[in-house]
Structure 1
C-alpha cells in the first residue's frame, strides 16, 4: 500500500491487524473502506509459515462473527493470493468484477 493516509485511516478505524513472531511484526491484513478483505502482506523472512493463511482466516471469522459476508479481491496475475484463496476453499466469480466509486468531489 503506497497511500499512507489510507493505511493510517484503516489503523485508526481498527481495520488493520498484525501477526507477530517473537515480538516482530511478521505481516498484516485489513478491511478496505468498502468492506473487502485485503492489504495482506507477509514479510519475506516469514513467508511459507502459514501466516498469510492465519491472517486471512482471522479476517473471515471476524466478518462471520459480525454477521457479514466476507469477501475480497485478487488482482489478475497475483497467483500467490489466488492460491491462498483456493487453499481456504473460497469461491471465485465466474468473470471479472469491476468496482466504480466516487472520488469524493461532487
Structure 2
C-alpha cells in the first residue's frame, strides 16, 4: 500500500491494529474498505516470531465477533502468506478472483 490517504482513512476507521514489543511497533494489520483482511506487515527484525499469525488471528476473531466473514486476498505465488492462511484454517476459493479498477486517463495524451 503506497497511498498515504488510504492508510490514513483505514487508521481513522478504527480497523488497523498493531503488535508491540514494549513501546516498539513490530507489525500491523487492517481491514480494507471492501472488508478483506490485509496490509499485514511484520517489520524485518521481528519476523519469524509468529507476530503475523497473532495479528491475523486477532483480526479473524474480531471479524467473527462483529458478524463478518473473515477473508483475505493473497497474490498468486505468495507462498509465505498462503502457508499462514492455511495454518489459520482459511481455504482458497475454488476459482481465481480477479479485480479491476477504474483508471482515469488524460485524454489529451491519447
TM-score by length of 2: 0.88
Moved over 3 A (4+): 100-103
Question: Alpha-carbon deviation of 1:91?
Answer: 0.9
**Map of 1:56 onto structure 2:** 56
Structural RMSD (CA)? 1.5
After superposition, what is the alpha-carbon deviation per residue over 1:44-77, rounded to whole angstroms, capped at 9, x for unaligned?
1101111000000011000000011111100112
Residue aligning to 1:84? 84
Which residue matches 1:16?
16
Report the Cα distance in structure 2 between the residues aligned to 1:80 and 1:24, rounded to whole angstroms: 24
In structure 1, the gaps of 5 or more residues are none
Q: Partners in 1 of 2:3 and 2:102 — Cα distance? A: 17
Q: How many Å apart are 1:100 and its aligned residue? A: 3.8
How far, CA to CA, are the matches of 1:15 and 1:100 in structure 2? 24
Larger Rg: 2
Q: CA deviation at 1:99?
A: 2.6
**How do 1:25-104 residues align onto structure 2 when only pairs under 5 Å count?**
25-100=25-100
